[in-house]
């Protein structure tokens, strides 16, 4: 008892000096933006002791360069391919399949420069808006596998849907196919030990990305691998918003019908989804259980399937630039007709907010759709605060009411669209590992636009009058949540 009392007394006596030390670490050892730095300093000042615990969970940042240094070196191995294409485009030697591409050279060049996102123009794309359809197609493609299955999801659960996917993977492994499963250390908490053991017994190899509890007890929610990728035999790839769990096929009482967007891709873009998996697997599994030559050979032999253009853009804490965020910003800034955005979390930084505002004031049709219910309350109320500011400039904002909207889609004019894993929020831009397919195709753009317009039927538009008449309680929630938005 005396030991506890003495410990509390020591803590109380030294808390001021501890806060000063923690504050110095945040200011001098971390490369943060000013808003985030000031917010953490306020947290440490007003809730000493507890503030440091919150910092360890939500904010610790200074070791990311060390943690992801080797991963970045691996990523740089594909630079020369992107550099060759960029050089060809700039010299005028590169010949596009469609004249429309020439109107967007700045956008294509930016993605090549910032994310080494090679443009491929021979892809066939199928869109999925319902989990039942997407997972039916996924399992069918897994069942067709002749060589290997590479599956990477932020969330994999051991529920009905999860076990259906796991059973298909196990069957392929028992047939002697090379099956690899990569899941995030935090998002994969719903994957039971029994399910993992079942995969191992069948011959499935698994890896966990950045486990939250290690030797150094790194307890935090930052640096999560939010990507959702599956590649089968190098011929077909899936990327989009759906995770693996029963709620994603509408079986959750809390969320009901789940509205999302996912793609199935056939063509040369699959090689770059596979390359992304390769690098994440090598980092997570420390290079074990991986024959690089097999996969590098296969990605050079992708069969031409269609005429859609795609750049696979990835970003994360290991990236030199926030490439997906920059691509969103460029789409908004370059728009001549419309910008439609679907995102479950809407916390734009200052540049994105200003771009949306000025686009709307310039006569661009800017529309934003978010859920009408929160799965993360603070994020939801912060989103409403940013929505409120944009409504004043003429942006049309909607809350989707037919279940939960989880789709991450940005549509620009009639040619460029984005479908992927990155939300329109600071966490996706700076703290999570994300992947998006930036698509150059009028038909895909039209299909996404039609779906957006049809979804408005299930939405309530937030008018300026509605926003001005919101209750005091809502105003308080918004104010507090907006203050916390840099760390949400």
Among the listed residues 226, 262, 264, 451, the single catalytic one is: 226
> Which position among 134, 180, 228, 477 bears the catalytic label?
228
Those residues with Cβ within 8 angstroms of residue 156's Cβ, 6 or more apart along the chain or in another chain: 162, 165, 181, 183, 187, 188, 190, 191, 243, 244, 245
CB 243 within 8 A of CB 421: no
Tokens standing for residue 96: 């596009």
CA distance 386 to 384: 5
What does DSSP assign to residue 154?
Answer: S
Catalytic-role residue among 233, 365, 375, 414: 233
From the candidates 157, 264, 408, 477, which is the catalytic residue? Answer: 408
Query: Is residue 189 classed as helix, strand or coil in its secondary structure?
Result: helix
22-26 contacts at long range (C-beta below 8 A, 24 or more positions apart) = 22/52, 22/55, 25/62, 26/55, 26/59
Query: Which of 370, 149, 372, 129 has its CA nearest to residue 242?
Result: 129
Q: Is 95 a catalytic residue?
A: no
Backbone φ and ψ of 317, nearest 5°: -60, -20
Q: Is 286 a catalytic residue?
A: no
CA proximity to 111, closest of 82, 76, 137, 140:
82
| 136 is annotated as an active-site residue | no
Does 233 qualify as catalytic in the annotation? yes
CA 331, CA 327: separation in Å to the nearest integer? 6
Secondary-structure percent of the chain, ordered helix, strand, coil, rounded to 5: 50, 20, 30
Phi first, then psi: give them for residue 227, nearest 5 degrees.
-75, 150
Active-site option among 406, 425, 441, 477: 406
Structure-derived torsion over alpha carbons of residues 137, 408, 378, 348, reported in degrees to the nearest 10: 160
Of residues 413, 425, 441, 455, which has the active-site annotation?
413
Phi/psi region, residue 210 (left: phi>0; alpha: psi -120 to 50; beta: rest), is left
- Catalytic residue numbers read 226, 228, 233, 406, 408, 413
């Amino acid at each position: 008892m005396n030991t506890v009392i003495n410990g509390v007394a020591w803590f109380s006596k030294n808390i001021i000096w501890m806060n000063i030390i923690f504050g110095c670490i945040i200011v001098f050892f971390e490369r943060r933006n000013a808003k985030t730095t000031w917010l953490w300093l306020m947290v440490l000042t007003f809730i000493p002791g507890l503030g440091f615990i919150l910092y360890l969970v939500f904010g610790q940042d200074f070791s990311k360069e060390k943690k992801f240094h080797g991963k970045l070196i691996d990523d740089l191995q594909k630079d020369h391919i992107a550099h060759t294409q960029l050089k060809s485009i700039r010299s005028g030697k590169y010949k596009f399949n469609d004249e429309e591409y020439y109107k967007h050279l700045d956008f294509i060049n930016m993605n090549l420069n910032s994310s080494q996102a090679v443009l491929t123009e021979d892809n066939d794309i199928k869109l999925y808006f319902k989990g039942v359809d997407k997972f039916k197609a996924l399992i069918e493609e897994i069942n067709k596998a002749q060589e290997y299955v590479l599956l990477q999801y932020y969330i994999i659960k051991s529920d009905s849907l999860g076990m259906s996917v796991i059973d298909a993977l196990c069957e392929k492994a028992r047939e002697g196919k090379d099956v690899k499963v990569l899941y995030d250390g935090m998002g994969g908490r719903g994957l039971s030990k029994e399910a993992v053991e079942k995969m191992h017994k069948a011959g499935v190899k698994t890896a966990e990305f950045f486990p939250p509890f290690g030797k150094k007890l790194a307890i935090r929610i930052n640096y999560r691998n939010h990507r959702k990728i599956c590649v089968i035999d190098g011929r077909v790839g899936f990327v989009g918003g759906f995770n693996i769990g029963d709620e994603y096929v509408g079986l959750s009482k809390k969320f009901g019908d789940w509205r999302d967007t996912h793609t199935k891709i056939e063509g040369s873009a699959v090689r770059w989804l596979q390359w992304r998996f390769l690098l994440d697997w090598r980092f997570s599994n420390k290079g074990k259980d991986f024959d690089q030559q097999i996969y590098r050979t296969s990605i050079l032999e992708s069969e031409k399937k269609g005429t859609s253009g795609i750049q696979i853009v990835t970003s994360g804490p290991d990236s030199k630039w926030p490439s997906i965020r920059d691509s969103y910003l460029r789409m908004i800034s370059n728009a001549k007709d419309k910008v439609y955005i679907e995102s479950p979390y809407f916390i734009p930084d200052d540049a994105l907010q200003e771009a949306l505002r000025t686009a709307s004031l310039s006569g661009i049709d800017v529309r934003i759709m978010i859920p009408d219910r929160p799965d993360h309350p603070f994020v939801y109320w912060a989103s409403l605060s940013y929505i409120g500011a944009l409504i004043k400039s003429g942006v049309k904002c909607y809350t989707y009411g037919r279940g939960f909207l989880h789709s991450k889609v940005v549509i620009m004019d009639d040619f460029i669209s984005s479908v992927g894993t990155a939300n329109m929020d600071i966490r996706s831009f700076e703290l999570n590992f994300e992947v998006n397919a930036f698509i150059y195709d009028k038909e895909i753009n039209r299909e996404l636009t039609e779906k957006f317009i049809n979804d408005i039927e299930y939405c309530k538009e937030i008018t300026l009058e509605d926003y001005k008449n919101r209750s005091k309680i809502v105003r308080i929630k918004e104010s507090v949540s907006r203050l916390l938005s840099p760390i949400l």
